[in-house]
Structure 1
Amino acid sequence: MKKSQAYHHSFQNLQENRMSFDQVFTRIVEFMNIDPRGNFRLMVGTDSQVHKSQTTFITGIVIQNEGKGVWACIRKVIIPRKMTHLHDRISLELSLTEEVVSLFTEERKSELINIVLPHLYQGATFTMEGHIDIGAGKRNKTREFVKEMVTRIESMGVEPKIKPNAFVASSYANRYTK
């Protein structure tokens, strides 16, 4: 997949279709400004589903104010073939997550951090997480990839989460891959 082609995919949720990333970012800022003293987690994760003649990848962006609600959207990418190799699929899931995380430039991250900054002493927090749809459990086929994928997420400067804590990849995005 060429980098340039991926940016044409728009974001959507139940309220809005065809959002650009700029619109998504604006929604996140608006959501955080409702309660700037909140405990925010910005989470990005991708899940995939292999169908007969294609593989559907869904990247979710979720901003959560813990205990106070969420705003979320997804981006769908369809690869026109069955991707049966687990490592290839997980690697592409992660590349799509990396691509969306990279849209949160340093300037944009600063803008989000600046929302909570005046309220740190009142307990406001902001973290950014990359959710990977893999688990380290003994029976888990994906456990051999954990170190590689966690390292890739860490190198982007976001906190990696794997199952069972990777709920953006494993439950939010998963719902849309079916």
Structure 2
Amino acid sequence: MSKLKVYNYSFQNLSQKQMSFESVFEHIVHFMKQDPNGNYRLMFGTDSQVHSYYTKFITGIVIQRESKGAWACIRKIVVPRKMTNLHERISYETTLTEEVVSMFTEERKNQLIDIVLPNIYKGASFTIEGHIDIGSGQRNRTRIFVNEMVARMESLGIEPKIKPDSFVASCYANRYTK
């Protein structure tokens, strides 16, 4: 498998284009500070689509306040060839998710945890999830990669989610791969 170099650290959503990672992080902090008593899920996931001459990868970042909305953005990467090998594509999706997760250093994660920490006993919570666009169902072609990709998410210290629970990859990111 060839090594792919990725230089695009620009994020976007429906209201903003060309956001830096710092700007994304500030949006997440601001969203969480609006309700420090909330139950938060910081979720990451990547999906891809093979087109005629290229393969488009979309990584989604979603901060959800359960039952009270969300803020989200995407990062788009285009590989200038058709990536038809399923294992290569799933592995690269996972790599792109890992790359964005790694931007959330221990210091940054602690900054987010510190927002809800004083309210833990009032029911506040914060979890980090890695959504992988694979499923373990008997008819799912990606089931043979589940253990490998789940282990990669766990090695980052985040909770892995696969279909049908991996909606950031299989729904949110998927919408932008077309």
Question: What amino acid does structure 1 have at the position aligned with 2:59?
Answer: T
AA in 1 matched with 2:108 = R
Q: Which amino acid aligns with 2:23?
A: Q
Runs of 4+ in 1 over 3 A off after TM superposition: none
Alignment identity in percent? Answer: 69
**Counterpart of 2:175?**
175
Q: State the Cα deviation string for residues 58-116 of structure 1 (Å, max 9, x = none).
A: 00000000000000000000000000000000000000000000000000000000000
Shift of 1:176: 0.3
Shift of 1:9: 3.1
Distance 1:26 1:121 in 2: 25
Counterpart contact for 1:9–1:77, Cα < 8 Å? no
SS of the residue 2:176 aligns to: helix
For 1:17 and 1:130, locate their aligned partners in 2 and report how far apart those are by CA, in whole Å: 24
Q: Give 1:30's aligned amino acid.
A: H
SS across alignment from 1:12: coil
Q: Which runs of 5+ in 1 are unaligned?
A: none
2:127 maps to which residue?
127
Rounded Cα–Cα distance in structure 1 between residues aligned with 2:44 and 2:9: 16
Root-mean-square deviation (Å): 0.6
TM-score when normalising by structure 2: 0.97
Kindly provide the CA deviation profile for residues 99-145 of structure 1, in whole angstroms up to 9, marking residues without a partner as x: 00000000000000000000001100000000000000000000000
Q: What's the counterpart of residue 65 of structure 1? A: 65
* 1:19-98 equivalence runs, <5 A: 19-98=19-98
Task: Tell me how far apart the structure 2 counterparts of residues 107 and 90 of structure 1 sit (CA, whole Å).
Answer: 29
TM-score, normalised via structure 1 length = 0.97
Aligned residue type for 1:154:
E
Structure 2 gap segments, 5+ residues each: none
Number of equivalent positions = 175
SS of residue paired to 2:107: helix
